[in-house]
Structure 1
């Protein structure tokens, strides 16, 4: 259904629409609320492509090779063997189809197997029920709450801190293979 590939300069075009769609960026980077011109988006995207420390991959539909979002792990600490997971699915017509869960599983494998991380964390806005369900389905556990840390829809809401450890991920894989 989907494949993850390195993003290129030509992949920028969908971001112009996505970043200017309030529904799409509702629970995304706060930065997306501050940029909206093509030049601002190009500057952000150029920095994204230059960053070699983070894992950043485009999410493409296998059938059409259409870019539908991006995901990865940022703030990777070699010392602590940890990083922060993120995902952004820009194509609204594909929300709620299980793509987020599939992408999360693939990125976790990259983080734990290829990058040899021990812990991958994320933050999710509490009203983002779809995201929260996908993360829990992938094995992330809530470990904390940032009270009123995000301002959206003219009000504050909490962000939840979630994480998964390599040992938990391995256990899930072992259990899944037995069934």
Structure 2
């Protein structure tokens, strides 16, 4: 499956992406705001095993984020913890190639995957958490239409201290209304 925009192409992930994921997992600047699974070093074998099973999880959709110009894998994103009963899920993104940071790619990918969640998966709500100490991510989510819902105080532990996480979400009705008004 491919979703293509001016800047990025989203595609399925597979075991051939292991080298990029391993390199990203070894760079603490890349993983500092990521899931806890990146808090500890992972072997190339662990990453390959994870990638070989990633597309078989009904509660998660994951896409490789590639540069449209070069086709190079620069990150991944998707929706996890999908509840078919509640029609909701949790958005995630990692731009692993630092040379693509600050170019609006996070906002663009967030918009494309959010639209996919609502208009293909039929979700009603997509939520996320972002470290309060990561203003670039928060700005990207705001630019993509996510609204602040609150703060989870001291819910993350990074660099030897507890830090707050900002809770954000967007609802299908708000998303479709915003598309109509554009």
Pick the TM interval, shorter chain. over 0.9
1:153 equivalent in alignment to 2:159: yes
Residue of structure 2 aligned with 1:163, choices 169, 174, 177: 169
Partner SS for 2:20: helix
* Cα separation, partners in 2 of 1:44 and 1:32, compared to 1, 3 Å: farther
Gaps of 5+ in 2: 1-6
Residue of structure 2 aligned with 1:54, choices 29, 44, 60: 60
What is residue 12 of structure 1 aligned with on the other side?
A: 18
Q: Is this contact kept in 2: 1:35–1:41, CA < 8 A?
A: no
What is residue 137 of structure 1 aligned with on the other side?
A: 143
Q: Structure 1 runs of 4+ off > 6 angstroms?
A: none
Task: State the shift of 1:160 in Å.
Answer: 1.2
Aligned mates of 1:52, 1:11 — CA distance in 2 = 21
Q: Is this contact kept in 1: 2:18–2:44, CA < 8 A?
A: no
What is residue 112 of structure 1 aligned with on the other side?
A: 118
What is residue 29 of structure 1 aligned with on the other side?
A: 35
* Cα separation, partners in 2 of 1:104 and 1:122, compared to 1, 3 Å: same
Aligned mates of 2:41, 2:78 — CA distance in 1 = 21
Q: Is this contact kept in 2: 1:118–1:165, CA < 8 A?
A: yes
Aligned mates of 1:45, 1:35 — CA distance in 2 = 16
Partner SS for 2:166: strand
Deviation string 1:88-115 (CA, Å, 9 cap, x unpaired) is 1000011010000110110011100001
Residue of structure 2 aligned with 1:72, choices 78, 81, 84: 78
Aligned length, in residue pairs: 176
State the TM-score, normalizing by the size of structure 2: 0.92
Gaps of 5+ in 1: none
Task: State the shift of 1:61 in Å.
Answer: 0.8
Deviation string 1:104-143 (CA, Å, 9 cap, x unpaired) is 1100111000011110000111001110000011111111
Partner SS for 1:112: helix
Q: Is this contact kept in 1: 2:15–2:48, CA < 8 A?
A: no
Partner SS for 1:42: helix
State the TM-score, normalizing by the size of structure 1: 0.93
What is residue 50 of structure 2 aligned with on the other side?
A: 44
